[in-house]
């Protein structure tokens, strides 16, 4: 009997640890048939937020008391040159507010267009720290705040600059994990290595200049396709793509 109780306790502990390390999240991707430019994503976001009004703050990440700094559960993108929305967890439940709108006309920078869904994908993914590595690209990633931007520019060492970016990207993944309530086991460490800096450029977001990076990286964390990382993830920055042998057609050029 004691042996049976010991085995049962072991099984319960094992299952509890699995529940901690394995987190299943839902992802809904909606791609519309309307082409937009990258600089129109924020306007697209604003048009959707105006359409749903104050029925849900997940569409705009604001409350009457100010900005919500949590990981964004509704993210606006440009995929295959088309306007798109990626919903994560709670966002999957809230998107019905948009779908229930009787009028599907949107005003985008003074031009009206009728929203029509071209593609809709819903998936559930297991988040975990795995033994193997996955390869990704991240585009238009706003990695540097003023403090680490100064640190980044003060070193001429490419190796040190890559280490800075790797640490920031790890922190972004941890922020994502916290946002979706994924608890990482203490002995499970996120490993990440940037394998290539494809390019960098200066962009303006909310009238402030930011350096954005396009990089390739490997990590032992599985990341769902097209989720956002870093600053302004809800505005189409820091979009993650799984690396295939052939570059996917929806990756930005």
Q: What is the pLDDT of residues 50-65, one digit of tens each?
A: 888 776 787 876 555 5
Q: Quick one: pLDDT at residue 22?
A: 67
Q: Report which of residues 154 and 248 the model is more confident about.
A: 154
* pLDDT tops 90 at residue 30: yes
Domain boundaries, the chain: 23-124, 130-242
Reported confidence tier of residue 214, pLDDT bands at 50, 70, 90: very high
Q: Quick one: pLDDT at residue 145?
A: 87
For residues 79-99, give the mean pLDDT: 92
Q: Quick one: pLDDT at residue 21?
A: 52
Q: What is the pLDDT of residues 125-177, one digit of tens each?
A: 888 888 899 999 999 999 998 888 889 999 989 999 999 999 999 999 999 99
Of 44-48, 107-111, 138-142, 231-235, the range with the highest mean pLDDT is: 138-142
Q: Quick one: pLDDT at residue 167?
A: 96
Cα separations in angstroms, 71 against 6, 103, 117, 126, 233: 41, 29, 25, 18, 8
pTM for this model (two decimals): 0.84
For residues 23-51, give the mean pLDDT: 90
Architecture of domain 130-242 in this structure: 2-Layer Sandwich (3.30)
Per the prediction, the chain carries an average pLDDT of: 83
Q: Which fold has domain 23-124?
A: Elongation Factor Tu (Ef-tu); domain 3 (2.40.30)
Q: Report which of residues 115 and 81 the model is more confident about.
A: 81
Share of the chain above pLDDT 70, in %: 83
């Amino acid at each position: 009997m004691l042996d049976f109780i010991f085995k049962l306790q072991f099984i319960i502990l094992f299952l509890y640890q699995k529940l901690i390390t394995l987190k299943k999240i839902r992802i809904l991707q909606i791609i519309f048939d309307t082409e937009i430019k990258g600089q129109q994503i924020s306007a697209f976001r604003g048009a959707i937020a105006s359409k749903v009004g104050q029925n849900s703050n997940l569409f705009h990440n604001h409350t009457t008391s100010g900005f919500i700094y949590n990981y964004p559960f509704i993210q606006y993108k440009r995929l295959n040159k088309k306007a798109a929305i990626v919903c994560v967890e709670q966002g999957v439940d809230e998107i019905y507010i948009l779908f229930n709108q009787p009028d599907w006309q949107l005003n985008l920078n003074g031009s009206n267009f009728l929203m029509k869904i071209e593609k809709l994908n819903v998936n559930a993914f297991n988040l975990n720290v795995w033994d193997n590595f996955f390869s990704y690209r991240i585009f238009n990633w706003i990695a540097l705040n003023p403090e680490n931007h100064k640190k980044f520019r003060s070193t001429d060492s490419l190796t040190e600059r890559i280490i800075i970016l790797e640490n920031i990207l790890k922190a972004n993944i941890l922020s994502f994990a916290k946002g979706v309530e994924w608890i990482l086991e203490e002995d499970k460490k996120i490993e990440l290595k940037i394998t290539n800096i494809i390019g960098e450029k200066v962009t303006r977001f909310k009238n402030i200049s930011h350096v954005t990076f396009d990089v390739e990286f490997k990590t032992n964390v599985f990341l769902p396709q097209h989720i956002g990382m870093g600053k302004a993830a809800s505005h189409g920055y820091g979009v993650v793509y799984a690396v295939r042998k052939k570059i996917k057609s929806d990756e930005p050029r």
